[in-house]
Amino acid sequence: MSTLNEVKLLQSMKHQHIIIVYHSFIEESYFYILMEYAAGGDLEQLSQNMYKQKEKFSQKQLWKWSYEILLALNYLHDSCIIHCDIKAPNIFLTKKKRIKIGDFGCSRVLNPAKMYIKDEVGTTVFLSPEQVNRVGLYDYKIDIWATGCCLYYLATFKPPFNGSAGLPQFVSAAACYERQSFANLSYSILNEEPDELCSDYSDDFKDMIKK
């Protein structure tokens, strides 16, 4: 999706958990976007800080963020929009740590008569089984799969599927992909189960991520 189309899409969306775009304009060949400021940074930055401090997100906090992310996705999907790249760096926070989903550069607007997309988009380690299996048609489910991967990442500080042994405990999605082949990653997504979450998290929370 072009930058201009992304901005038009963002300007059309009004939801408490989606970054607001207030205005855009072109001046001296530069394209400017005036958008809501995410004072709390993003979940990737916060995860890095938590890992460095040897801390973990509480289950209560992750339940809250799960709810807010899914509220935003429900709004998008009702509007025939697939985000296509749900991951920690694209989920921003307000000063009060409320979720604001942003970065719609990979998003797709579905034709209500077809309700699927054909092109492959998203962050490699968060791709769904149908994407790595190259089924060819994808729908809203890829956002739900990526959300589960993202929540697992927030709970463990590593992707659920990385296709490579010996990775450090904290590893970004990009760094993970650089250290393994797509074939190994595909096999992991299609055939393996992620490591179990630690006992700090309840069975209900673990089941939610698995679902």
Structural domains of the chain sorted by starting position, each given as residue range(s) with its CATH number in brackets? 40-210 (1.10.510.10)
Is 85 annotated as catalytic? yes
What was the pLDDT predicted at 181?
A: 75
pLDDT tens digits in sequence order for the chain, 211 residues long? 566 766 777 788 899 999 998 888 888 888 888 889 999 999 999 999 999 999 999 999 999 999 999 999 999 999 988 999 999 999 999 999 999 999 887 888 887 656 666 666 778 889 888 888 877 778 899 999 999 999 999 999 999 998 654 444 455 555 554 445 778 888 899 999 999 999 999 999 999 999 9
Question: The pTM is what?
Answer: 0.84
The two most distant CA atoms of the chain are separated, in Å, by 56
Structure tokens at 118: 């054909």
Using CA atoms in the order 78, 82, 85, 86, what is the torsion angle rounded to 10 degrees? 20
Instruction: Enumerate the β-bridge partners of residue 21.
Output: 35
Among candidate residues 85, 119, 195, 204, the one labeled active-site is: 85
What is the C-alpha separation between 53 and 47, in angstroms, rounded?
A: 10
What is the C-alpha separation between 111 and 130, in angstroms, rounded?
A: 20
What is the C-alpha separation between 130 and 180, in angstroms, rounded?
A: 20
